[in-house]
A and B are shown apart, each in its own frame.
Chain A
Amino acid sequence: MGIRKPGQAWARVSLTLAALLLIALPFGGAAPFTITLLTEALICAIWAMSLDILVGYTGLVTFGHAAAFGFAAYVAGYFAREANPDFLLALLAAEIATIAVAVVIGFVATRVSGVAFAIISLCIAQVLFQIAVGWRSVTNGMDGMVGVPLPKILGMKIGVGTDFYLLTVACVIIVYVALARLVDSPFGRTLQAIRTNEERAASIGINVRLHKWLAFVISWAISGVAGTLMVFLKAGTTPMTLHWSESGNVLIMGIFGGIGTLLGPAVGAVVFVFLRDEFTTTFKQAWQLAFGLVFVIVVLAFPTGLAGIAERALNLLRRAPFPGTWRARS
């Protein structure tokens, strides 16, 4: 049953409104370029939420999350081009491959924690990056995979622009709802217990290794959705999607938005994509430097990100936190 506290209802209403707003956007006269950029931003939102499961909820900071994304992009793109451009089939192919790889890699990687895990995850991504560059016959090397056709669903062509945008919005909503349920479930609470105090979690009967492994696989699987969407949006992909700078991008999206809140990284991703677009149009050369500065400042001064700031503001109004956060209130 669970009594619905007024704050929770308010949160649900505002989220529903936000979703409706997203759906209505292309019909309200937004420019095509904005729609495309927003599509990219929403794809990154899915990606950032997948990161949050691993980093924010389980406490495993990964420096190789680009691998999850890029790998799925390649598999989906290859499938769409060589076998069948159906979106759902390509997604299925990407998911099967991504989950298989995640199960194997995750088994090894989750044996360690903290700094060692961060480094191992970086190395995994590097290996996949090198494979993408070197396996020319499949990936076309540094030139990137091209020629990925427009996606179809059940025979219907999904055009660029509004059609694909709506598909992405649908995916975002589905992913968010699924993950929000996940983090509120006993499984989600268990992950957070592991993040909070691993030894304590083990001593209350939690199989820590199994849960970390599952979190890793889930995180990669959700990334797979983002990767699949992206390869269709860009009609291809390059090894740069597996580069560690991309891993840095998704980390800043998450931290900037506020890790451990699910919505925070999603918002952070959207803000990041738009800001980056603005910035690189004017100051292309200085992007890396500016990115680094923002990254360092956020980590040093605002580790809880936008969500942390928002939560403090909301606490002033004495409302309950958004679904996905879980803190005692006194």
Chain B
Amino acid sequence: MAGALVVKGLSKSFGDFRAVQGLAFELSPGQLHSLIGPNGAGKTTAFNCVSGFLPPDAGTVTLNGSDVTGWAPHRLVAAGLARTFQITKIFGELSVLENVALATRSRDRRNLQAWRPAHAARGAEAKAQAILENLGLADRAQANAEHLAHGEKRVLEIAIGLALEPSVLLLDEPTAGMSSGETERIARLIRGLTAQASVLLVEHDMEIVLGISDVITVMTQGSVIAHGTPAEISRDPRVQEAYLGAEHL
């Protein structure tokens, strides 16, 4: 079943500091599941554990029925899991199109092709162009990626993730640093992604999350404190307590 992610008993400590303890949640095909919590809740650590950037101390990650715990990032991509980064990591020196084309060529398993020029892989480049068009970045295709506006860069991050044709897409605080207008646009865009992949969204902004998610898991201090639909979560007193002082509730 494509697009299913099951996390059980995930734990990760740094020395004495227990960043994540016994985290468990499920992502169903076509679902938009948000992982939310205040700063220091362990969301990013959990995210990095699931996406292969940190080895978990305990727990399992199951992708489409296969155990992928502790797999390296490139293996996870091949298995259908892609992620974006909270702090924009794009290839700044390259054009926007090339950024996405790198991913599409990778998806087409061309990374070891050494004889023909890269731009001869026209299928990959056409796919990249199509993705940019879908996300509204087509007119910036030839621009230097570094020169994009912040909001456009965050969209480029998503474009690169989509280029990998994942069944599960992990988005790491995609709206970080955006204005409220841009945020709305991105939120709608993310909601639309569920047609192509299941989405696990890590977010700080409760308002967005309540607006677009199917399911929400709330974390504080490494553990889950609440889980449910947006309606249930917005009424949950524990969640309100955890967010006391935050301006988004």
Please tell me if A328 contacts chain B, counting CB pairs below 8 Å.
Answer: yes
Interface pick from B17-25, B29-37, B110-118, B233-241 = B110-118
Is B164 among interface residues, defined by CB-CB distance under 8 A? yes
Are B142 and A206 touching (Cβ within 8 A)? no
Give every chain B residue within 8 A of A207 (Cβ-Cβ). 72, 74, 111
B74, A189: Cβ atoms closer than 8 Å: no
B73→A203 contact, CB < 8 A? yes
Point out the residue from B92, B118, B119, B164 that lies within 8 Å of A196, measured CB to CB. Answer: B92
B117→A205 contact, CB < 8 A: no
B106/A327 in contact, CB under 8 A: no
**Is the beta-carbon distance between A211 and B111 smaller than 8 angstroms?**
yes
Residue of A nearest to B109 (CB): A205
Q: CB distance B114 to A182 under 8 Å?
A: yes
A-side contacts of B103, CB under 8 Å: 204-205
A199 at the interface (CB under 8 A from B): yes
Does chain B have a CB within 8 A of A236?
A: no
Q: List B residues 142-195 near A (Cβ within 8 Å).
A: 142-145, 147, 160, 163-164
> Beta-carbon contacts of B44-80 to A below 8 Å, as 1s and 0s?
0000000111000000000000000000111001100
Q: Are A330 and B106 in contact (CB under 8 A)?
A: no
Query: Is B242 among interface residues, defined by CB-CB distance under 8 A?
Result: no
CA distance A181 to B114 in the complex (A): 7
The distance from the CB of A297 to the nearest CB of chain B, in whole angstroms, is 25
Bound complex: CA A190 to CA B121 (Å)? 14
Interface residues of A in 184-210 (CB under 8 A from B): 184-190, 193, 196-197, 199-200, 202-208
Instruction: Return the contact of A328 from the options B73, B89, B111, B143 (Cβ within 8 A).
Output: B143
Is the C-beta of B243 less than 8 angstroms from some C-beta in chain A? no
Q: Quick check: is A316 within 8 A (CB to CB) of the other chain? A: no
B174-227 contacts to A (CB < 8 Å): none
Interface presence of A6 (CB below 8 A): no
CB contact list, B90-114 vs A, under 8 A: 90-95, 98, 102-103, 105-107, 110-114
Q: Looking across the interface, which residue of chain A has its beta carbon closest to that of B100?
A: A204
Are B85 and A204 interface neighbours, CB within 8 A?
A: no
- Cβ A188 vs Cβ B114 within 8 A: yes
A2 on interface, CB distance cutoff 8 Å: yes
Determine which of B52, B91, B111 lies in contact with A186 in the assembled complex, contact meaning CB atoms within 8 Å.
B111
- Within 8 Å by CB of B112, from A184, A187, A328, lies A187
Given contacts A203-B83, A328-B94, contact A189 B102 (CB under 8 A): yes
Contact of B74 among A208, A214, A330 (CB under 8 A): A208
In the complex, 7 of the A-B residue pairs with CB atoms within 8 angstroms, ordered by the A residue number, are A1-B120, A187-B114, A189-B98, A200-B91, A203-B83, A206-B111, A207-B72
In the complex, the 8 A-B pairs of residues with the closest C-beta atoms, listed nearest first: A205-B77, A328-B95, A187-B114, A186-B110, A328-B144, A202-B73, A205-B106, A200-B89
